[in-house]
Amino acid sequence: MATQGQSPSHAPLPAPLRGLDEAQSEIVQAIAETTLTIAALLRDGVADGPRTTNRKNRFGDTQVPLDRLTDDLFGSALRTLKAVGAVASEESPLTEVNASSDSASARYLVLLDPLDGSSNVASGAGLGSIFAVVLQTGAPPTSGDVVAAGYAVYSWETTFVLATAEGVDSFRAAVDLSTYSFEKALQMPTEGTTYAVNEGTRGKWTSATQAAIDAVSVGRSARYSGCFAVDFHRIMLDGGVFAYPGTIDRPEGKLRLFYELIPMAYVARAAGGEAADGDGALGVTLAADLDATTPVYLGSREPMQAVIRILTEQ
């Protein structure tokens, strides 16, 4: 089992990581190491304790104990790295770290959804972690500042997906969860066979949202697990569209712009896919609010072109 405090020379992902320099690789290796720790905790039954709490995070979501634990694990792994200047997650607001160190070396912001799909804990269904490593420029981060992003999927096997400017690679964890080995480079199919959306909210969609989902559902099977990382990974492999639209009573959607859409949009585009928010845009995002939520559409290039056309014409 991977444990915190392992020798810094331990590299859970096979090095070198394409597209990343030494400091960026060190951050991604620490994230990967933490995902192995989380996978081992899940395997060893850490979810067997209380599965819910009365506590809510700042988005109003009920926190399961694992939300806090996984957030702490990522935080302690990242805070020790000189290249990390700040960490912000779905569970904890932006925290500056290494403020006293040479600011030239502490220049990356790490964005995290430490335990994605935590409502799946109660039923033992798939879970994930989502991350992005963002160059700090002094201005609010934009999608153009991301240097690496990816996710882990925890289920009967643990998969780590890493996107950089040079492409997207998937890695599979060893059975003893000590390390990852390279699995394959990922390229999203251009058409795809599935779509993922919570159809239960259809009654609250605008007509443009309905038209967009209708366009992607024709000829595709619906697959929706309640965990973004799991559902998005299926889209990465089989192609299609993942959507978490806004609704009439919640036009800004549920998923987090910085902790969920920006990382996954980077992955989708690096794999040849496309991404959009509710306006069909998601070019350069200049939201100053790190906690903003947003409608989310991600997936294969062909169906996403139809989605973007419908959303921009609304």
Residue ranges that bind ligand AHM, judged by CB under 6 A: 61, 90, 113, 116-119, 198, 226-228, 244, 254
Q: How far apart are CA 175 and CA 232, in angstroms?
A: 23
Choice between 116 and 277, CB closer to ligand AHM: 116
Residue 113 engages Mg ion in binding (rule: CB under 5 A): yes
195 binds, among Mg ion, ligand AHM, none (CB under 5 to 8 A by kind): none
Binding at 274: pick from Mg ion, ligand AHM, none (beta carbon under 5-8 Å per type):
none
Closer to Mg ion by CB, 6 or 119: give it: 119
Distances (CA, A) of 286 to 86, 139, 222: 18, 9, 33
Between β-strands 194-196 and 221-222, what pairing exists: parallel, antiparallel or unpaired? Answer: parallel
The one among 71, 116, 145, 274 contacting Mg ion by CB under 5 A: 116
- Shortest Å, Cβ 43 to Mg ion: 21
Q: How far is the CB of 162 from Mg ion (least distance, A)?
A: 18
**CB of 62 closer than 8 Å to CB of 90:** no
Q: How many whole angstroms separate alpha carbon 168 and alpha carbon 276? A: 19
Neighbouring C-beta atoms of residue 123, cutoff 10 Å: 9
Which of Mg ion, ligand AHM, none sits in contact with 226, Cβ below 5 to 8 A by type? Answer: ligand AHM
Burial of 187-223, coded b for 16+ CB within 10 Å and e otherwise, reads ebbeebbbbbbeeebeeebbebbebbbebbbeebeeb
Q: Nearest approach, Cβ of 118 to Mg ion (angstroms)?
A: 8
Instruction: Choose the binding region for Mg ion from 32-40, 96-104, 115-123, 266-274 (rule: CB under 5 A).
Output: 115-123
Q: What are 162's two structure tokens?
A: 């890493």
- Interface residues toward Mg ion, by CB under 5 A: 113, 116
